[in-house]
Structure 1
Amino acid sequence: MFYLHPHKFKTKIIDTSQLIERYVSGRRDFSRVNLTRVSLNDVNLSDIKLWQANLAEINLSRASLRKADLRESNLSGANLWRTDLGCASLSNAKCSHALLIRTNLQQANLSQSLFDHADMRLLCLMGANLQGADLSGANLSFADLRGANLSGANLSGTILMGANLSQANLGNTNLEEAFLERAELNEAILPAEAKNKVQLTW
């Protein structure tokens, strides 16, 4: 699994007022900007491009970033509470220890992304692409993962209590020490070596 180190490329510092002003004027490409520890909660940034941006510890709670391009961005420790990221692209993004309670990631592309130890309770990942993603140690209690593609993902030590994984693809997924109590697995595709274990903990 490949993750781009956030300091392998140069980022440009921009303040929030500049970003919002330029976004309102029609600009959408803010690739490689540095917005660490800033607050952009409750704003509409749909279709924004933040490719390879440094967004560590940013506050985007209740913001709308539908169809945003966040590929290879650094969102470590970010506050994404109730953020709308529907249909967004976060492939190869780093979201370690981020807060994503009730976040909307329906139909989002999270392939090869890093969400280790993230708080993802009650979020929506319905139909999302999580192929090869690392969610080890993350908390996805009561999350909606119906129809999500988790093929090849790392779910070791992941808490999935009460999560809905109906019709999800968990083929070739690492479920070692995953907690699946009361999880819904109707029509889910499970790795062969984990079927018996999952049935015992379900």
Structure 2
Amino acid sequence: MLTLYGGVKTRASLPRWYMEEKAITYNLIELNRQESENLQADFLAINPFGKLPVLIDSSIIMPNGEPLKLFESGAILLYLAEQYSDDIKTTENKALTSQWLQFVNSTLSIALLVPSHREKEFPRLMRALDHQIKIDQPLVGNLWGAADCAIQAYLAYLPLLFPHVDLDPYPSIQATIESVVRRPAYRKAMGWGQLEMSP
């Protein structure tokens, strides 16, 4: 059994969205970071850094007798893709998926979220990314997968976090965002409910 620990405004929405899209059964435990539930002793025993998300796979028992515990959204996505889905079938696909996950969690997230990088790096990366993505063409292989989940989730954050940013120069990115926010599994993972409800 898979258990995902998450919370509001955490990257737990990425593995949750992935599991919803792939119809992977999981339990969700949401912690309230405002009340420091992620810093309580019982959770620190799971992840000593107190960060979310964390995935526990009770079907895998480690040498110490405890179930497998993973933190970091990229590591969780890669694990789910390898163990619970069919979008990583070759060494090449694993390598490319890992590449995109690391790009998202380092290069892209820094360009988006660190103000000193946003002005210089953001436009350059967005121009390059706009040429890389296509709505109906997965980044890796021929199935929507972990790489698409990570990239698309970050792009969909843009209008929420930076509504003043002009996305007109990036038509492929705009189209991707519009497509993503209509996906029922994405809306469920984000807690938005039905399509007619505004995010």
TM range (shorter): under 0.3
User: Where is the strand percentage greater, Structure 1 or Structure 2?
Assistant: 2
Q: In proportion to residue count, which structure has more helix?
A: 2
Q: TM-score, normalised by structure 1?
A: 0.25
